[in-house]
Structure 1
Amino acid sequence: MCIDANIDTKLTFKELITKSNALAMALIERGINKSDTILTFAENSIELAIVIMASVFLGTTLYPISPIANVYELEKLFETLDSLVVFTSQSKSNAMKTILNNHKSKAAVKSVFMVNGVFGNYITFDELLKEGHNKCLPQIPYFAVKDPRNETFVILQSSGTTGVPKSLLISNYSVVAYLHAMKSDIESDFHKNNIDGQPVFGHITPFGCVSGISSLLGYIFCGFSVVIFREYSEELILKSIEKYHVHILFITPAFGSALILGPFAGKYDLSSLRVIVSSGAAFTESVGKAIVNKYDVLLQEIYGMTEAGIITHMPYFNNGDEYMAGNLGQPNNNVEIKIRDTVTGESLGPGLGGEICVRGPMLFKGYLNNPLATSEAIDDEGWLHTGDIDSKNSLNTKRLPLKELIKYETIAVSPTEIELFLLTHKCVAEVAVVGVKHETQSQWVRAYVKVKDGMSVTEEELKQYVADNLNEAKQLRAGVVFVDHIPRTTIRKVDRRYFKQLIANELIKSQ
């Protein structure tokens, strides 16, 4: 069962199958092909879950986009794609209209449909369901998957460290491997916490990101009930845990802080919670310990990356255990781990400062239209090079310094992408973007800017320039600092080590 907490609406598995079948039939009659890609740009909803399952029934490729994506980013993305069948929502329809006014973007799109609401002459969701009503797919998937290891099931966006995010190709085979691993993980959670009967999950991340889409497919595959949220609201999430008796909650580090420090902490009965799972960044030591001890739950902080099939490691902290921030925990099912010396390439033992490499059936196929980047990510022996370094402190806690990425809540942001965008401003000569530690939201973005000679621009003007074009995670919340020069390495790259040292002791407090 899928429960939409915002409007208190429920969808049974029987209804999900019936409506997904009807939607798939409507799309077939409208001419969808095996080579088409169903692209979604909408907030979480029951209707969006139906679109995703219809794609599964059809055997077409799915490309879910995060609802926080902005026009600038989507225009760039659409220029790399073709033969798109787009589903968007009422709240995103104006953005989609703007995107389609760009002739390069419009050329990639075959048709646009609504998942909710009405906009212009776009076909509504209800109209599609009526078109496919009482019609039955002759086979599932409708378009046969003849080569599951190589045919693309879903395309997801990477965060990217060298500019605009890349499109990752995930095969049918990889998704099946992930689903079986997830089922094993969840059954282990049930055993550890004596959860009987039908568990209820709560999930707050959008289906347009890797944790959202993979978890949704997992809930459906395992036959579990899930409560979804159209938008982030601390009170609604807490209220829904009480109302729907949620057992397992997937959260962000920011919401973990809200469980302890937020204005609604203690207002609702959360006694049904048995497991809390977080991804994207580690909690602070104090928050992690407080969650484990206050709520008597199993706390899991998963580590992974989209290229690796989302989860590669998962630690377990029971009530009474000593919480260790940043602990990697055990390798996940279907995952091999190797620690590689970054100089010699030889294998090392754990905690010796080598690069973490992973291998297994869940790995992505490669980057769309980018074989060079693919070969740099996965070597000839099938090992994915994560770019993260394995180290340990005196307590043998493995820790992962992230590469160059900035983490806003659970969202990984490429500083290079923001730098490249800011360089399009007529007054900006050079720029370096960094992430400044924030008390509850992981990191906030800051730009160090050198202005062109004879030009002038204010901090607010640059903030507004970013606000008008880039998504919520990429806003310059930590401000703009004007400098006389940008330090660079010997090969003229921005010297990120210099800026990291500059802000090493800075912590932005919550207002």
Structure 2
Amino acid sequence: MKFVLIVPIIIIANILNNMSDDYIVRSPKRRYEIPDISVAAYVSRSMARLDPQHRCFMNAIDGSHLTAEELITKCHSVANALIARGITKSDTVLTFAENSTELVIVMFAAIYLGITLYPITPIARVYELDQLMDTLGPLFIFTTKAKAKIIETILSKRSDRQTVRFVAVLDDNHNVYVPFRSLLSEGQNQILDTIPYFAVKPKKDICILLQSSGTTGAPKSVMISHTAFVAALMAFIKPDMNDESGGNNRTSPLVGYQMTQFSCMSGVAVLFGYATCAVNYGVNFMGMVPAFGHKLLNEMCDEYDLSSLKALMVTGAAFAANVAKDIMQKHKVSVVEVYGMTEYCGLTSPDGEYIPGCVGRPSDNTDMKVIDSKGNSLGPDLDGELCVRGPKLFSGYLNNVLATNEAIDDHGWLRTGDIGHYDSRHRFFITDRLKELIKYGTKQVSPTELEQFLLTHEAVAEAVVVGVGHRTDTQWPRAYVRLREHKSVTEEELKRFVADSLSDSKQLRAGVVFVDDIRRTTVGKVERRYYKELVANELIDD
């Protein structure tokens, strides 16, 4: 009888350990300490364990590749060349380029130097990049020949050109900027004296800046410390990526800079170029966004041999259950959804079998909870705002203390702005997306940014931007605009105005509607719910 009584006590103890303190749901895995080291120290140790001839990165488009030995050798060369050109700890390396092996080398060089890296989406345009550069200190910029025109345009208008101390072009010669190959030559056969080269305080110093739309307002620069990034590296999990033959595991491009680093550190080859790499390199794991699922199901399956695929990891938005099930049946692969955000890399880890809408359980060392509108914690199966805390939490928004304090409470909880719940087995489900942001494919589009930009047009007095449902792209932006008196502009002129300055995801694909007045609340705020209700039943199928 004593033995029978002990069993339920142990079960109850385990439940309380994983979920206590007002419905806090904890990672089911054993907690571990995060070492107080720089990202460079962690990365260099991980790279040292790889076979020197292991191909870390392969470009399926042009056939180029990087072995572990080549990556580290060239990383040291570029880092030493930058030191010779006067780079300091206070500088930021800003990359503005498409995926390439050269870009990977630059990213690793920044890590090994111990300075801050800021990878910018290559679809950004003049207005966006110019606004961002206003918030940053001295910059060393790496771009491509095609993107260099945007840099030139920005610098020609800026009075503080000295903030950009150096510009290099990765893919070709340039009549103004330094060719990347020159840096490789300048630092050839040179090894950094220490790794990282500059002294780093892991908990305090910022390893990387990433752009995020946040839950409200214009885009922000998210500061990720060395400690947070090391924690993310340590927690990385590869679902079903083990090759049965024990051979070369390969993955297609994963979403985001962090995932590229995670895969490389794990000894998994990363390839650039979706369809081509799946056919020519026998990819068995693919990270993708929901919009790509439709192509995988309806277009690629007949044109390409995807028989090597074993697992798909979906992130960035909710994945339609019918599409997921059709893909699993057609390609005989497993599908998992995961949940993450720029401010906290990897909130959840996959939970084995596919369950529609399920994003798994809290990831390593991570606590999660669901709260109501008054901040009270909720139990299982009750929808509320998801909150998270743990060592992967960002340090704050650059130069924006107010936004940081609004996002993180006094107890270290980050309010995600997402609505969801967890079930009795502590599996989380996302039931609604961010209230303000427009979701276009993988991109989060800030309506505030679009509205502020529209107001720079001389004919626009007020503007409200909302997302209109789209069958494959999730949402398309639409603007409701009130014109200034005695001013005029056409819908096509405003759409062209946006197209000339903002990136592809921010285009007014759902059009412009001219109104006599913008509806506001009693305290003067735009009544966004009203405009969302206007488009609630629309579904564009172009």
Same structural fold, with TM-score higher than 0.5 when normalized by the shorter chain: yes
Looking at structure 1, the residues matched to 327 and 226 of structure 2 have their Cα atoms a distance apart, in angstroms, of 37
* Aligned residue number for residue 347 of structure 2: 312
Greater CA drift, 92-101 or 286-295: 286-295
Preserved contact between residue 78 and residue 105 of structure 1 (Cα < 8 Å): no
Looking at structure 2, the residues matched to 118 and 258 of structure 1 have their Cα atoms a distance apart, in angstroms, of 36
* Aligned residue number for residue 99 of structure 2: 44
Preserved contact between residue 205 and residue 226 of structure 2 (Cα < 8 Å): yes
Q: 1:106 to 1:350 in 2, by over 3 A?
A: farther
Deviation at 1:330, TM superposition (A): 1.6
Looking at structure 2, the residues matched to 108 and 350 of structure 1 have their Cα atoms a distance apart, in angstroms, of 51
1:5 equivalent among 52, 57, 60: 60
Any stretches of 5+ residues in structure 1 without a counterpart? 205-210, 230-236
Alignment RMSD: 1.9
Deviation at 1:150, TM superposition (A): 0.9
Deviation digits for residues 344-397 of structure 1 (CA, Å, limit 9, x no counterpart):
x2221133232211000000001111111111111111110112222589x995
What does 1:182-193 correspond to in 2, within 5 Å?
A: 182=236, 185-186=237-238, 188-190=239-241
2:371 equivalent among 337, 340, 360: 340
Looking at structure 2, the residues matched to 397 and 366 of structure 1 have their Cα atoms a distance apart, in angstroms, of 26
Deviation at 1:105, TM superposition (A): 5.6
1:228 equivalent among 267, 272, 283: 272
* Aligned residue number for residue 101 of structure 1: 156
* Aligned residue number for residue 255 of structure 1: 292
Preserved contact between residue 161 and residue 415 of structure 1 (Cα < 8 Å): no
Report SS of the residue matched to 1:203.
coil
Higher-Rg structure is: 2
Looking at structure 1, the residues matched to 252 and 160 of structure 2 have their Cα atoms a distance apart, in angstroms, of 35
Looking at structure 1, the residues matched to 342 and 380 of structure 2 have their Cα atoms a distance apart, in angstroms, of 23
| Matching of residue 171 in structure 1 with residue 225 in structure 2 | yes
Looking at structure 2, the residues matched to 359 and 278 of structure 1 have their Cα atoms a distance apart, in angstroms, of 23
Looking at structure 1, the residues matched to 260 and 188 of structure 2 have their Cα atoms a distance apart, in angstroms, of 24
Looking at structure 2, the residues matched to 367 and 406 of structure 1 have their Cα atoms a distance apart, in angstroms, of 21
Deviation at 1:433, TM superposition (A): 0.5
Deviation digits for residues 243-295 of structure 1 (CA, Å, limit 9, x no counterpart):
10001111121211101123x33221111111111211112232122112211
Preserved contact between residue 60 and residue 276 of structure 2 (Cα < 8 Å): no
Looking at structure 1, the residues matched to 463 and 507 of structure 2 have their Cα atoms a distance apart, in angstroms, of 15
Tell me which amino acid in the other structure corresponds to 1:301.
E
Preserved contact between residue 79 and residue 105 of structure 1 (Cα < 8 Å): no
Deviation at 1:131, TM superposition (A): 0.3
| Matching of residue 380 in structure 1 with residue 410 in structure 2 | yes
Looking at structure 1, the residues matched to 147 and 153 of structure 2 have their Cα atoms a distance apart, in angstroms, of 10
TM-score (norm: length of structure 1): 0.91
Looking at structure 2, the residues matched to 195 and 492 of structure 1 have their Cα atoms a distance apart, in angstroms, of 64
2:360 equivalent among 329, 332, 340: 329
Tell me which amino acid in the other structure corresponds to 2:304.
Y
The alignment covers a number of residue pairs equal to: 484
What does 1:102-501 correspond to in 2, within 5 Å?
A: 102-104=157-159, 106-145=161-200, 147-182=201-236, 185-186=237-238, 188-190=239-241, 194=244, 196-203=246-253, 211-229=255-273, 237-262=274-299, 264-309=300-345, 311-316=346-351, 318=353, 323-324=355-356, 326-343=357-374, 345-391=375-421, 398-501=430-533
Greater CA drift, 463-472 or 491-500: 491-500
* Aligned residue number for residue 67 of structure 1: 122
Looking at structure 1, the residues matched to 363 and 469 of structure 2 have their Cα atoms a distance apart, in angstroms, of 29
Deviation at 1:107, TM superposition (A): 3.4
Looking at structure 2, the residues matched to 285 and 317 of structure 1 have their Cα atoms a distance apart, in angstroms, of 16
Looking at structure 2, the residues matched to 357 and 338 of structure 1 have their Cα atoms a distance apart, in angstroms, of 5
Greater CA drift, 487-496 or 466-475: 487-496
Tell me which amino acid in the other structure corresponds to 2:161.
K
Any stretches of 5+ residues in structure 2 without a counterpart? 1-54
Deviation at 1:220, TM superposition (A): 2.0
Looking at structure 2, the residues matched to 113 and 100 of structure 1 have their Cα atoms a distance apart, in angstroms, of 14
Tell me which amino acid in the other structure corresponds to 2:370.
I
Looking at structure 2, the residues matched to 126 and 509 of structure 1 have their Cα atoms a distance apart, in angstroms, of 46
Preserved contact between residue 168 and residue 307 of structure 1 (Cα < 8 Å): yes
TM-score (norm: length of structure 2): 0.86
2:83 equivalent among 28, 32, 48: 28
* Aligned residue number for residue 39 of structure 2: none
Deviation at 1:341, TM superposition (A): 2.3
Looking at structure 2, the residues matched to 391 and 361 of structure 1 have their Cα atoms a distance apart, in angstroms, of 22
Looking at structure 2, the residues matched to 218 and 60 of structure 1 have their Cα atoms a distance apart, in angstroms, of 19
Preserved contact between residue 60 and residue 143 of structure 1 (Cα < 8 Å): yes
Tell me which amino acid in the other structure corresponds to 1:296.
K
Preserved contact between residue 94 and residue 142 of structure 2 (Cα < 8 Å): yes
Preserved contact between residue 488 and residue 495 of structure 1 (Cα < 8 Å): yes
Q: 1:162 to 1:331 in 2, by over 3 A?
A: closer
Q: 1:22 to 1:148 in 2, by over 3 A?
A: same
Q: 1:72 to 1:295 in 2, by over 3 A?
A: same
Greater CA drift, 362-371 or 287-296: 287-296
Q: 1:479 to 1:72 in 2, by over 3 A?
A: same
Looking at structure 2, the residues matched to 407 and 18 of structure 1 have their Cα atoms a distance apart, in angstroms, of 40
Report SS of the residue matched to 1:328.
strand
Report SS of the residue matched to 2:301.
coil
Preserved contact between residue 47 and residue 115 of structure 1 (Cα < 8 Å): yes
Greater CA drift, 165-174 or 348-357: 348-357
Preserved contact between residue 24 and residue 58 of structure 1 (Cα < 8 Å): yes
Tell me which amino acid in the other structure corresponds to 1:338.
K
* Aligned residue number for residue 232 of structure 1: none
Report SS of the residue matched to 2:439.
strand
Greater CA drift, 407-416 or 485-494: 485-494
Tell me which amino acid in the other structure corresponds to 2:534.
L
Deviation digits for residues 17-61 of structure 1 (CA, Å, limit 9, x no counterpart):
010010001111111111111110111100000000001111111
Deviation at 1:195, TM superposition (A): 7.2
Report SS of the residue matched to 1:486.
coil
Preserved contact between residue 300 and residue 314 of structure 1 (Cα < 8 Å): no
